[in-house]
């Protein structure tokens, strides 16, 4: 007889030491969003500028950078252009530039105070 447990697992519960493979090249770029620990596990949405309804999301995960914890959301496969980042359904940063074949980085660690939002 199989024994089941009603476990609830959240993907963000564990650190993520594995490498991230990014879809890049041509007109396709990526964004690494750096946050502080307060956004760990939170889903942050992204949409092309002018298309607020076309949102996708990524969860802020704990990774390691130089042996230290780093909290990031990684968006890959983004068509070159500008984007809006959303937190809790509110546009927080607009006009994030993505260039094809490149990885953009944005440090949101001190930009967004979720408690004040």
Percentage of residues in the chain having pLDDT higher than 70: 74
What secondary structure does DSSP assign to 49-88, as a single string?
TT-TT--EEEE-EEEEETTEEEEEEEEEEEESEEEEEEET
> Dihedral of CA 96/50/71/88: which sign?
positive
Q: Name the pLDDT band for 100 (thresholds 50, 70, 90).
A: very high
Q: Considering only CA atoms, which of 92, 78, 66 is closest in space to residue 31?
A: 78
Q: Rounded distance, CA 39 to CA 34, Å?
A: 10
Encode pLDDT of 50-74 as tens digits: 999 999 999 999 887 777 888 999 9
Domain span including residue 96: 29-104
3-state secondary structure of 89: coil
Average pLDDT over residues 32-39: 91
pTM: 0.78
Q: Does residue 83 sit within a domain?
A: yes
- What average pLDDT does the structure give for the chain? 81
Q: Are strands 90-98 and 81-87 parallel, antiparallel or unpaired?
A: antiparallel
Average pLDDT over residues 109-115: 55
Q: In the chain, how many domains are there?
A: 1
> What is the distance in angstroms between the CA of the first residue and the CA of the last residue of the chain?
50
Q: Does residue 63 sit within a domain?
A: yes
What residues contact 57, with CB distance under 8 A and at least 6 apart? 43, 44, 45, 46
Residue 115 has pLDDT above 50, yes or no: no
> Residue 31 carries which DSSP code?
E
């Amino acid at each position: 007889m199989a024994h089941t447990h009603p476990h609830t697992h959240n993907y963000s519960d564990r650190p993520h030491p594995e490498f991230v493979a990014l879809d890049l090249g041509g007109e396709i770029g990526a964004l690494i969003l750096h946050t502080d620990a307060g956004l760990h596990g939170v889903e942050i949405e992204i949409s092309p500028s002018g298309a607020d309804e076309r949102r996708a999301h990524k969860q802020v995960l704990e990774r390691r950078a130089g042996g230290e914890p780093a909290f990031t959301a990684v968006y890959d496969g983004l068509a070159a252009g500008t984007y809006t980042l959303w937190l809790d359904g509110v546009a927080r940063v607009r006009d994030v530039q993505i260039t094809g074949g490149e990885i953009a980085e944005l440090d949101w660690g001190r930009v967004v105070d979720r408690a004040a939002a």
